């Protein structure tokens, strides 16, 4: 097929702006508001944030451009895109495995992502019912504990969220995804600003800022650097085909470089604002920043409980968090759904139900990680010992997907786009300025792959 004639059978975005919105919808999610603050808390703050920002700039943006470019050139699901492009560039068909790696990573991530989104969903109702009004840190903590220790509740919320995701995916690219993101992302941004203003009024804003921004490198080990790099991939939705599949719906004439930068900046700003909202409240209440995955659920309600109009603001906040998670969840499952539609000749509804059902089932492991299979049980025996660490099923899955699978996916994307595609092909597709192209090529050929490899090898303890 000639380059010009290629279109995706799944449809196309109406404009570049819509692509930017959808990709930002994918990027901005629980990763920014739930995960970034808690891993920053666990990894000591400033130095970790700095490494994360460097990873966004020198690995994240070039890999995002590469992924979008591959998607737009291949115009199919990541699996088929990779085999088509491999054939076109005269490379072995085994490259379609890269698409498979992404599909599997998407399933695994969504399986726990949906459970956490379920927490957010349940907090909408907790907040609306006034449960947080005047609550102390201990009170908020026990509300959280009683939620996660109840597998039935978690299962119910997880199921609702999965069904909601399947519905949007079943409706397709234009009608489902486009609509949802255009209103929700801007509203979330406004509410985060409100929260940052509240954080300023706690009297501990500067403590929060110095935790986030003054780097203490003595706290930074290779393990933390790996987490920072993994999170750069996670938060930008890279390394698993989400951005590739969104790129496949991108009109031919849009600038991939500009779009990628806009997405990365928006995503980073949201994460930093979440940090600026959360840490001052942590310090104002004499709490510890390193409590782990419950952090925002144990911290933000304290603020909502004390604020004027806190019921309204808190409820809105959790609603928007759910929407942010929703627009990310869609992109986690879209590569698999697009592949099923292309290869199995089924319609989107059927594909969405199958993929969603399977993900839901794997999600049970995360549901039980906080109660039945919490620490000191067989799952710890099995998974914990397997990875030589004292962690449960959810933590194992989260670490493995974000810190291993995504960077690995990104590494191979960089190798393929940087080394195995003809310069003429990538130049045509990226269609940017001469200088811009040269910078991208250096980053994607040398900087990104080397950085990923060094961090991997260091983190697993080779050459210590």
Residues in contact with ligand PHE by the rule CB under 6 A: 26-27, 29-32, 109, 234-235, 237, 240, 242, 328, 331-332
Task: Pick between residue 332 and residue 430 the one whose CB is nearest to ligand PHE.
Answer: 332
Q: Provide the 8-state DSSP code for 219.
A: G
Q: Provide the 8-state DSSP code for 346.
A: -
Among 205, 273, 279, 229, which residue's Cα sits nearest to residue 44? 279
Between CA 316 and CA 329 the distance in angstroms is 20
CB of 276 to ligand PHE, least distance (A): 17
- What does the DSSP assignment read for 74-101? H-S-HHHHHHHHHHHTT--GGGHHHHHH
Q: Are 192 and 274 in contact (CB under 8 A)?
A: yes
CB of 177 to ligand PHE, least distance (A): 12
Task: Pick between residue 233 and residue 456 the one whose CB is nearest to ligand PHE.
Answer: 233
Q: How many alpha carbons fall within 13 Å on the CB side of residue 49?
A: 26
Q: What is the CA 387 to chain-centroid distance, rounded?
A: 23
Between CA 126 and CA 301 the distance in angstroms is 10
CB of 39 to ligand PHE, least distance (A): 12
Task: Pick between residue 101 and residue 143 the one whose CB is nearest to ligand PHE.
Answer: 101
CB of 402 to ligand PHE, least distance (A): 8
Task: Pick between residue 235 and residue 248 the one whose CB is nearest to ligand PHE.
Answer: 235
CB of 43 to ligand PHE, least distance (A): 17
Per the structure block, which two tokens stand in for 111?
């399986």
Among 396, 438, 449, 457, which residue's Cα sits nearest to residue 112? 396
The residue behind tokens 């996916």 is 409
Task: Pick between residue 140 and residue 351 the one whose CB is nearest to ligand PHE.
Answer: 351
Task: Pick between residue 106 and residue 384 the one whose CB is nearest to ligand PHE.
Answer: 106
Residue 365, C-beta contacts closer than 8 angstroms, at least 6 positions apart = 111, 112, 373, 379, 393, 394, 397
CB of 214 to ligand PHE, least distance (A): 25
- Residue, CB closest to ligand PHE: 31
CB of 278 to ligand PHE, least distance (A): 16
Task: Pick between residue 31 and residue 356 the one whose CB is nearest to ligand PHE.
Answer: 31
């Amino acid at each position: 097929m000639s380059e010009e004639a290629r279109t995706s059978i799944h449809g196309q975005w109406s404009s570049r702006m819509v692509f930017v919105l959808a990709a930002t919808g994918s990027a901005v999610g629980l990763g920014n508001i739930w995960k970034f603050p808690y891993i920053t808390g666990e990894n000591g703050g400033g130095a970790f944030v700095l490494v994360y920002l460097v990873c966004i700039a020198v690995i994240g943006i070039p890999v995002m451009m590469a992924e979008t470019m591959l998607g737009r050139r291949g115009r199919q699901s990541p699996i088929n895109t990779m085999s088509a492009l491999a054939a076109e560039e005269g490379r072995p068909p085994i490259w379609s495995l890269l698409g498979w790696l992404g599909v599997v990573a998407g399933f695994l991530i969504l399986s726990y992502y949906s459970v956490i989104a379920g927490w957010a969903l349940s907090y909408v109702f907790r907040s609306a019912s006034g449960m947080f009004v005047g609550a102390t840190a201990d009170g908020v903590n026990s509300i959280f504990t009683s939620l996660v220790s109840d597998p039935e509740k978690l299962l119910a919320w997880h199921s609702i969220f999965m069904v909601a995701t399947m519905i949007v995916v079943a409706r397709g690219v234009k009608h489902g995804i486009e609509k949802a993101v255009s209103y929700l992302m801007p509203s979330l941004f406004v509410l985060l600003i409100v929260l940052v203003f509240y954080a300023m009024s706690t009297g501990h804003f500067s403590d929060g800022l110095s935790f986030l921004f003054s780097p203490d490198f003595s706290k930074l080990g290779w393990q933390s650097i790996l987490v920072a790099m993994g999170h750069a991939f996670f938060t930008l939705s890279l390394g698993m085909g989400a951005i590739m599949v969104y790129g496949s719906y991108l009109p031919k004439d849009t600038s991939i470089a500009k779009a990628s930068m806009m997405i990365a900046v928006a995503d980073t700003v949201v994460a930093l604002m979440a940090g600026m909202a959360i840490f001052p409240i942590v310090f104002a209440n004499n709490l510890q920043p390193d409590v782990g995955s419950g952090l925002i659920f144990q911290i933000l309600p304290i603020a909502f409980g004390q604020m004027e109009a806190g019921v309204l603001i808190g409820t809105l906040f959790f609603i928007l968090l759910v929407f942010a998670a929703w627009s990310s969840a869609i992109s986690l499952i879209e590569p698999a759904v697009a592949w099923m539609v292309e290869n199995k000749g089924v319609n989107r509804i059927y594909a969405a139900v199958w993929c969603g059902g399977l993900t839901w089932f794997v999600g049970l492991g995360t549901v039980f990680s906080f109660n039945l299979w919490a620490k000191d049980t067989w799952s710890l025996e099995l998974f914990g010992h397997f990875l030589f660490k004292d962690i449960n099923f959810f933590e194992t899955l989260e670490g493995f997907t974000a810190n291993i699978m995504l960077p690995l996916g990104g590494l191979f994307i960089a190798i393929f786009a940087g080394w195995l595609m003809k310069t003429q092909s990538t130049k045509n597709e990226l269609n940017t300025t001469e200088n811009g192209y040269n910078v991208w090529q250096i980053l994607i050929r040398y900087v990104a792959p080397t950085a990923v490899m060094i961090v991997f090898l260091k983190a697993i303890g080779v050459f210590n």
